[in-house]
Structure 1
Amino acid sequence: MAEHYFAFLHTHTLFWFITLILFALTVTFLRVGKAKLSKIMQMTLRLFYVLVLITGIVLIFIHMSLLAVIKGILAFWLIYVMEMITNRMAKGTLEGNSKWLFWIQFVVAVFVVLYFGYFVIG
């Protein structure tokens, strides 16, 4: 299984990249009021959450280190924040202090996950 580590790593990185693009598109479509298109993007985004989680779990089992588990928990936090932002935007309940709280969490989580993924574990 260890010989397939880099294939899973590159696939996982690609899925994260696509997930972040889909997140940006979903947020954009929600902001401009394209409800049907944003719903399609949100469902596609959820599919990529699952793909990211599956490849991430495989990488944790291949790498088998505490740092990989910590990065996985941080990545799960990032996915949670992304889902909360898109859900609350779709429902119209992302406003006030919670709006800034979720966006600050998103920015912090992205940087921490990238730091762990490229500088601590990589």
Structure 2
Amino acid sequence: MGTYDIMVHSHSLFWLIAFITFTLSVVFSGKGKAKPAKIMHMILRLCYILLLITGISMIVMNFYWATFVKGLLAFWLIFMMELIAVRSSKGILEGRQKTTFWIGFAAAVTLVFIFGYGVTG
């Protein structure tokens, strides 16, 4: 198993952890459990850093237009996750804004999966 394969598996694991902690962060923020939501959000931010490190290293190791586009889409996905998590914890995510952010999140996830698993180089 080469270095690139290790990065791919690590990156996939960090995405899994990020989605789980994102979900828990949003769920806990709505239930009045501020401390667990904060802890989940801190773990989520650590995952962002690890995702960026492994993702950028994979782009550098195997540069192809689709991996670069996927990287840009992943930035957008991380941005949407952070917006939703922060605004949920503050209790200011409601109405039209909530719908817009969740649609942006769903679109980003869909496009990242399409480029991650559908477009090969």
In the superposition, the TM-score normalised over structure 1's length comes to 0.94
Distance of 1:70 and 1:121 partners within structure 2: 12
What is the deviation of 1:5? 1.0
Instruction: Check if 1:38 corresponds to 2:37.
Output: yes
Instruction: Check if 1:113 corresponds to 2:116.
Output: no
- Between 38-47 and 3-12, report the one with greater CA deviation: 3-12
1:97-108 to 2 correspondence within 5 Å?
A: 97-108=96-107
Distance of 1:90 and 1:24 partners within structure 2: 12
Match of 2:3 in 1: 4
What is the deviation of 1:32? 1.1
Match of 1:25 in 2: 24
Match of 1:59 in 2: 58
Distance of 2:21 and 2:89 partners within structure 1: 15
Count of aligned pairs between the two proteins = 120
Structure 2: gaps spanning 5 or more residues = none
Deviations 1:85-106 (A, max 9, x none): 0111111111111100000111
Identity %: 51
Structure 1: gaps spanning 5 or more residues = none
- Three-state SS of the structure 1 residue aligned to 2:92 is coil
